[in-house]
Amino acid sequence: MAVLHTTNKSPLQTRDLESCLRLTRPGCGILLLEDAVYGALKSAEGSDMLAEAAKDRRIYVLGPDLAARGFTPEELIAGVTVVDYGGFVDLVAEHHHVQAWV
């Protein structure tokens, strides 16, 4: 069972997402929540880094956090899955353990 990673900071503000990508491996899942959802926007600088990661990792975005910030799933980079809190719970249950990149 793969590992689920969570990260909650905007990659335009901190380097947490960079570290998360450097220290995780193909096959894992990465859930972006809170301010981290900005990192998955097509329009934002640096989202190519995440688009690249999406080729061999499953990237998830917490929908309620995305909506709160005024964006829609259509504005996300390709290959990203939007989940709600119930989906977050399912992801945690489906993975071996969860690691937070706070």
Partner 1 sequence: MKFGILVNEGPYQHQASDSAYQFAVAALAKGHEIYRVFFYNDGVNNANKLTEPPQDDRNITRQWSALAAAHNLDMVVCVAAGLRRGIKAEILAPGFNISGLGQLIQAGIEADRLVVFGD
Partner 2 sequence: MSGTQAGEGGNSKVKRFMIVNRKAPYGTIYALEALEVVLIGAAFDQDVSLVFADDGVYQLKKGQQTKDIGQKNFSPTYRALGDYDVEKLYVERESLQARGLAPEDLLVPVRVLGSTELSVLMEEQDVVLSF
The Cβ of residue 98 has, within 10 Å, a number of other Cβ atoms equal to: 14
Among 2, 4, 7, 14, binds its own copies (CB under 8 A): 14
Q: Which does 52 bind (CB under 5 to 8 A by kind): partner 2, its own copies, partner 1, none?
A: none
For residue 68, give every residue at least 6 positions away whose Cβ sits within 8 Å of its Cβ, in sequence order, or none.
Answer: none
With the C-alpha atoms ordered 45, 16, 101, 51, is the resulting torsion angle positive or negative? Answer: positive
Neighbour tally for 72: CB within 10 Å: 10
Q: Least separation, in Å, of the C-beta of 15 and partner 1?
A: 15
What is the x/- site pattern for partner 2, positions 32-71, by CB under 8 A?
A: --xx--x--xxxxx-----------------xxx-xxxxx
Residue with token string 């190519």:
48
Residues in contact with partner 1 by the rule CB under 8 A: 6, 8, 33-35, 64, 84-86, 88-90, 92-93, 95, 97-98, 100, 102
